[in-house]
Structure 1
Amino acid sequence: MVVSRITFAGVNNEGHSRVSGHGFIFGMLISFSLCTFSCFHKAMKSRPLHIAMYPWLAMGHQTAFLHLCNKLAIRGHKISFITPPKAQAKLEPFNLHPNSITFVTINVPHVEGLPPDAQTTADVTYPLQPQIMTAMDLTKDDIETLLTGLKPDLVFYDFTHWMPALAKRLGIKAVHYCTASSVMVGYTLSPVRFHQGTDLMESDLMEPPEGYPDSSIKLQTHEARAFAAKRKDTFGSNVLFYDRQFIALNEADLLAYRTCREIEGPYMDYIGKQFNKPVVATGPVILDPPTLDLEEKFSTWLGGFEPGSVVYCCFGSECTLRPNQFLELVLGLELTGMPFLAAVKAPLGFETVESAMPEGFQERVKGRGFVYGGWVQQQLILAHPSVGCFITHCGSGSLSEALVNKCQLVLLPNVGDQILNARMMGTNLEVGVEVEKGDEDGMYTKESVCKAVSIVMDCENETSKRVRANHARIRELLLNKDLESSYVDSFCMRLQEIVEGI
């Protein structure tokens, strides 16, 4: 299927050149040509491919790869999904095509400093994630043995920088499937950045690289400082984090992004020119509706409030806040005066969220505030009619889930790609409001949290009106099933061409 696409560019009121995301959405006319059936027919007619998957050992990456597997399996392709046992147990319920998607178990070697039986980042604290990467690197020989036996046409990967060379040796095409946005990859990992190496200064990172399609997307001082420091960090097997990412991109046969060109097209084009690689979009890969019901404790609690009145807050399964961040967050939620559900991990130094609460907090918010320290069914919570606002850390997965629901977005990024995702959502597409932080220290306050929530929840506020309108248009775009199908069909055709050497 083919969708006609038009991109608008311009200059914003501050004089920055930019890709006008919301202007494009406003002006978009989606028309399906006679090629619609033709492309679908070609995609179905092509021989089934055998695809191996080996994503980074973090559940957000694992689930993102599996969601794509489900879309590929519908089209007749065979998937061998390589994953450790504990991750497999969590992924099994999301395998919608078990006859086409086979889990291949791999044992994760123990690395000094890791807890016994640690297999994914969910089993460790954030500072120990590099050791998980080291353990994953140690599976290289086992992966070679598996791929030699499986004989797939392609292998999808992300953090394993050694995969392209291994795949080439075995005659397998290597596809770098990036769950982070092309906005982030273009800003931080383009060759013009890479060749500056560890000499890259904070001041350099505060501005986008040469040729970047949107000069309005920038970093604050504290963010640039963190990115500069990250460039000097090793991440598994004595490899610098950015060297790992650059090699993984630079040696791939194909670069793929979980997005659509209507939103990230100019950034994808920039990456393609920088790396001299073919770059394709898989489409938004919208999750199929869950077959399970929302847990009763949450459905009952949410059901006690008016439609669109509850503020939901979640920072993903890996984010652990510092104690002062945690306090400002929950006090900010209290300050809104609105009902709220916060699904956040206990802050650093605390065993439970209850023990980290400010004195008297639970009594003050009793009946309207629910702070929960465990995993929640986010997709179902976001779809609940009582939820009107989502405070998100701006992880790509959470944003994908949020944009197809009606809740308004408050953007509170923490690290890495979340920051640039927030800039795109808040500055470019204007579908959310970012919480104000100190430029130097990166701290937000209870007042800044409350302010951002109050803006998006006030239907009469001009900013809220604009954000709601932009969000509604993007939601309509993303929920267009023909659009998603066209992307997946085109992606399958591109995979076929890569395998056939076209």
Structure 2
Amino acid sequence: MRSKFHAFMYPTFAFGHMIPYLHLANKLAEKGHTVTFLLPNKAQQQLQPLNLFPDRIVFHPLTLPPVDGLPVGAETLSDLQNTTGRVISDAMDLLRGQIEAKVRALKPDLIFFDFVYWVPEMAKEFGFKSVSYQIVSAACVAMFLAPGAELGLPTPDYPSSKVTLRGHDANVCSLFTNSSQRMFGRITTGLKNCDVISIRTCAELEGELCGFIERQCQRKVLLTGPMLPEPQEKSGKPLEGRWNHWLNGFEPDSVVFCAFGTQFFFEKDQFQELCLGMELTGLPFLVAVMPPRGSSTIQEALPEGFEERVKGRGIVWGGWVEQPLILSHPSVGCFVNHCGFGSMWESLLSDCQIVFIPQLADQVLITRLLTEELEVSVKVQREDSGWFSKENLRDTIKSVMDKESEIGNLVKRNHLKLKETLASPGLLTGYADSFVEALENEVNNTKPF
């Protein structure tokens, strides 16, 4: 019988990283392992409800030291409005002494990390294993490792001519800044020095890219699958009454649902263009986005006369909604989103047509994979400046909602085929189980240290 292990987790202090790490921690705890989760003070209260095994997952809060550019009280990337993520990584680097003291006291078997490049060096010094757990797509990780890929000119052995960055992407997301280049360097250093590489994806989506990463790093890449929590629609919890009642008023597959998560904020003019594009479709729609920058509420930022014109068929909501439950409602036929990891998976496992408007580097790359290579989705075309127009949004949505559309029928067929594969019994849970088993082997084959 394999002995149980103790893992440390030190993810980047951003909720988009800490939450997936906690999903992984829950899986390890479910199998009987223990986890010490290193996180900033303020994040503990927000993450506690997601800790399903508080007897096995122990939060260890850390106080970020002051560094130049870090506002007082800021502890995560979501606390930073006009500052790059560099100040958070600088502060996390200064926590090394505190973490080493904790390591000496608790003697873990493994430590999971993503951006903090010196973790493998520390792990070797103290005699335990380091696991680079990347929660972004394999496409993004491959880009870090392929010389020239960030300029759209990857090496000849790179597996896809489509899933690369292109020059004008710099206007869509921050790819070419000094801060981004520094981040690429930190991630690459961690990948090449760690004991185990793991990525939150599956071979059915990114198998060739994972093979490229293995060749570049000269080690096996372990895949965890999406590592999503239990779907809400299987929990028996009903959709909130107001949304259920509203959606019930429309024909099957007729409603366009649009959401961009709670960490993304449009500029006001682009937000208004989004609203006008939804109006131009002539279809019923529900948009759930955060108020744009500079606005305290959604209502104050809406285009003039918009609410009156779309009354009865369109709603723009400025907060969180039960996204998986909305997607499973029979009236919803199209999902417009930013291709964030959770939304991407919820798109693929739904029956909806998929329209992407990516905002960040990994979202741009996975959108290209799904749109240009697998052809299960479409994306809204943008100008070189990064701007998308209401007309382009309208035309893209109508291209998949029109029952006579050739592209709409193509992506629908391909999506259905991929969904059948991904939803096949045991496939995704099997990835998680196999990953934990591989870690157990890694630990047991190297004990005693």
Normalising by structure 2, we get a TM-score of: 0.91
In 2: Cα distance, 1:295 partner to 1:120 partner: 30
Cross-structure match for 1:156: 112
Percent of counterpart pairs with the same letter? 42
Maintained 8 Å contact 2:111/2:123:
yes
Q: Does 1:64 align with 2:20?
A: yes
Cross-structure match for 1:77: 33
Maintained 8 Å contact 2:336/2:355:
yes
- Seen in structure 2, the aligned counterparts of structure 1 residues 368 and 193 have a Cα distance that, compared at 3 Å, is same
In 2: Cα distance, 1:383 partner to 1:51 partner: 36
Q: Does 1:147 align with 2:93?
A: no
Unmatched segments (≥5 aa) in structure 1 = 1-44, 195-203
Cross-structure match for 1:332: 277
- Seen in structure 2, the aligned counterparts of structure 1 residues 420 and 387 have a Cα distance that, compared at 3 Å, is same
121-130 vs 211-220, which moves further: 121-130
In 1: Cα distance, 2:104 partner to 2:280 partner: 58
SS at match of 2:178: coil
In 2: Cα distance, 1:395 partner to 1:307 partner: 26
SS at match of 1:210: coil
- One of 280, 295, 320 as aligned partner of 1:350: 295
Q: Does 1:477 align with 2:421?
A: yes
Q: Does 1:383 align with 2:339?
A: no
Q: CA deviation at 1:374?
A: 2.1
* Alignment-mate amino acid for residue 499 of structure 1: V
Alignment of 1:23-422 (within 5 A): 45-125=1-81, 127-186=83-142, 188-190=143-145, 192-193=147-148, 205-223=151-169, 230-234=175-179, 240-290=182-232, 291=235, 293-422=238-367
Cα RMSD, aligned residues only: 2.4
* Alignment-mate amino acid for residue 151 of structure 2: L
* Alignment-mate amino acid for residue 461 of structure 1: S
* Alignment-mate amino acid for residue 145 of structure 2: S
In 1: Cα distance, 2:154 partner to 2:376 partner: 21
* Alignment-mate amino acid for residue 445 of structure 1: S
Maintained 8 Å contact 1:126/1:320:
no
Maintained 8 Å contact 2:33/2:56:
yes
* Alignment-mate amino acid for residue 495 of structure 1: L
In 2: Cα distance, 1:295 partner to 1:138 partner: 44
In 2: Cα distance, 1:154 partner to 1:389 partner: 42
Cross-structure match for 2:438: 494
Count of residue pairs brought into register by the alignment: 443
- Seen in structure 2, the aligned counterparts of structure 1 residues 232 and 337 have a Cα distance that, compared at 3 Å, is closer
Q: CA deviation at 1:158?
A: 0.8
In 2: Cα distance, 1:466 partner to 1:226 partner: 27
Q: Point out 4+ residue stretches in structure 1 off by more than 6 angstroms.
A: none
Maintained 8 Å contact 1:323/1:348:
yes
- Seen in structure 2, the aligned counterparts of structure 1 residues 64 and 383 have a Cα distance that, compared at 3 Å, is farther
Q: CA deviation at 1:474?
A: 2.1
- Seen in structure 2, the aligned counterparts of structure 1 residues 345 and 418 have a Cα distance that, compared at 3 Å, is same
CA deviation vs aligned residue, 1:308-366 (integer Å, no higher than 9, x gap): 22212122222222233212211111111122222222223333322221111121112
Maintained 8 Å contact 1:392/1:413:
yes
Maintained 8 Å contact 1:192/1:209:
yes
CA deviation vs aligned residue, 1:119-169 (integer Å, no higher than 9, x gap): 222233264533333333332222222233232211111111222112222
- One of 355, 372, 375 as aligned partner of 1:430: 375
414-423 vs 450-459, which moves further: 450-459
Q: CA deviation at 1:115?
A: 4.4
- Seen in structure 2, the aligned counterparts of structure 1 residues 296 and 491 have a Cα distance that, compared at 3 Å, is same
In 1: Cα distance, 2:250 partner to 2:152 partner: 43
143-152 vs 354-363, which moves further: 143-152
- Seen in structure 2, the aligned counterparts of structure 1 residues 395 and 76 have a Cα distance that, compared at 3 Å, is same
Maintained 8 Å contact 1:327/1:357:
yes
Cross-structure match for 1:447: 391
